[in-house]
Amino acid sequence: MDEPVKEWNGEYDVLDDPEDRDVLFGALDSFSTYRQQGYRLVHSRRQNLYALPTDHWQLLAAYPVSILDRLSEIEVAIGVNAILARQILRQSLKAFGLPSTDIREIPRALDWRDKATPNDCSKASTIIRQLFRDWSAEGATEREPCYAPIRRAIDNFHSQGSRPKSQVRVLLPGSGLGRLQFDLCQAGYDVEGVEISYHALLVSSFMLNHCERAEQFDLYPWVHTFSNHISRDHQLAKVKVPDVHPATALSNAPSSEPAGSMNVSTGDFCVVHRSESHREVYDVVATAFFIDTAPDFLRYLEAVRNCLKAGGIWVNSGPLLWHFENEQARGPKSGQKYDPDADMGIGESGSVELTDEEVVLLVEMAGFYVSRHEIIDAEAGYIQNPESMQQSKYKLSHWVAKKMR
C-alpha cells in the first residue's frame, strides 16, 4: 500500500460547522485530560479509604494488602495509557490543522481546550480500553467470533465472480477502531469505513496511519474498573498494541495477493448512504455489532438497500442490544419543530426494539434473499476482562442477504 489511509474523507470541513466542531473539540480535549481524569478517579479511592475508621484503613494500607501501594501502581498504569492518549491527540491536532497544547494563545474559533464534558471523558476511557478488543493479540478471542464469519462470507461472495478483490467495494458502517477494515484491506478488498464517533475516528486514524511498529504501546485496559477482580494483578494486566503494524503488513503483502485500499468517511450512515449520490455503489455492506445502534432499524435497512448494488450482499454479525431501549420517549429537541418525514438519521424521534426473527423478516421484505442465517453460540465478549468475576457474553446473529432488486 503506497499511500497512508485517508484520514478524513467527509463531505464538508467539520471546523466550518459550529455544532460538529464542538463535538470534535470535546473528543480532542478528552484525550488531553485523560491522565488528569484517571488520577482523579484514583484520588477519590484514596479519599474514600481515608474516610474509613483509622484502624481499618491502616490495616488495609499495611502489608500484605498494601492497598495504598496498589493504588499508586494503578496511577502509574493510567500514566502509561496517557502516553498513548497524548500521541492520539498530537496526531489528531495535526490532521485537523489545529494548534498544539504548547501554544498559549489560540484563536477562539480554534481553541479546542476545556471543551470536554463528563460524557466525552467517559468515552475517551472506553475507547482506549476498546483497543484491547481490536488491536491486541489477547483481544482476538473477542473479535474473531464476530469478524471471521464476515470475512468468510465476503471471500465466498468474491469466489463466485471473476473480478479481482481490488474491484470488490466493501462498506463498513460503524467501522469503529478500524480492525475489520484493515483485515479486509489486507485480504485485498477496496474497503470504506464510515463512523459517526469522533472518539473512534481519532483512535482508528492513529492506529492505521501513525503507529511506528507492532506492540509499540503498553496498554492497561482494566485500570478504570475496581469491581469483580479476583486479584489486583488482573486489574493491572497489561497488553501491547497494536498486535500488527498496519503499514508494514500491507506493504509486505505478496504480489500474488496484493493488499487492497481503504478510506474512512465521517458522518451519519443512514443519512449519507440513503442519498442519490450513494445509490448502488457497493458490492458488499458488512455490519459488525452495529445494527442495534439504530433507533429505527428501517432507516439502516433503507440505507443499505440504497447503496448496495443489485446482486450484492449484506453480511451481518452481532447481537441485538438496542442502544435506545432505556430512553424515554425520543421526541424533537427543545425548540425544534417535529417533522416525522425529516431525515434526522440517528438523531430522529422514536425508537423500536426488534427480535432477530423480525429483523431478518424485514430484510427479506425489502427485497433481499437471505442465503444464510445462524445464531453463533460463541459466547463472545465485548471489551471484557477475561479474568473478571462478571462475564457478559453474546450469542451472535450471523446472516448473509443478497439484494435481488
| Longest Cα–Cα distance in the chain | 76
Residue % of the chain over a pLDDT of 70: 92
Name the strand (E) or helix (H) holding 403: strand 394-403
308-318/282-288 β-pairing = parallel
pLDDT at 339 over 80: no
Mean of all residue pLDDT scores within the chain: 91
pLDDT of residue 338: 47
Sign of CA dihedral 27, 383, 298, 280: positive
Q: CB of 258 within 8 A of CB of 188?
A: yes
Q: CB of 243 within 8 A of CB of 214?
A: yes
Number of neighbours of residue 365 by Cβ within 10 angstroms = 9
344-to-20, 183, 296, 333 alpha-carbon distances in Å:
15, 32, 11, 11
Q: pLDDT tens for residues 347-379?
A: 677 899 999 999 999 999 999 999 999 999 987
pLDDT of residue 258: 93
Nearest to 87 by CA among 117, 120, 131, 43: 131
| Banded model confidence at residue 301, pLDDT cuts 50, 70, 90 | very high
Q: pLDDT tens for residues 189-234?
A: 999 999 999 999 999 999 999 999 999 999 999 999 999 999 999 9
The average pLDDT across 42-71 equals 98
Residue % of the chain over a pLDDT of 90: 80
The average pLDDT across 336-343 equals 52
Helix, strand, coil percentages in the chain from 3-state DSSP, rounded to 5: 45, 15, 40
The model carries a pTM of 0.91
| Banded model confidence at residue 332, pLDDT cuts 50, 70, 90 | low
pLDDT at 112 over 50: yes
Dihedral class, residue 138 (left if φ above 0, else alpha if ψ from -120 to 50, else beta): alpha
| Banded model confidence at residue 9, pLDDT cuts 50, 70, 90 | very low
43-to-46, 86, 118, 261 alpha-carbon distances in Å:
5, 21, 17, 46
Which of 87-91, 118-122, 166-170, 375-379 is the least confident region? 375-379
| Banded model confidence at residue 307, pLDDT cuts 50, 70, 90 | very high
Q: Which residue has the higher pLDDT, 342 or 275?
A: 275
Q: Which residue has the higher pLDDT, 56 or 100?
A: 56
Query: Exposed, middle or buried, 228 (CB in 10 Å: 0-12/13-18/19+)?
Result: middle
The average pLDDT across 24-32 equals 97
CA 270/CA 297 separation, integer angstroms: 10
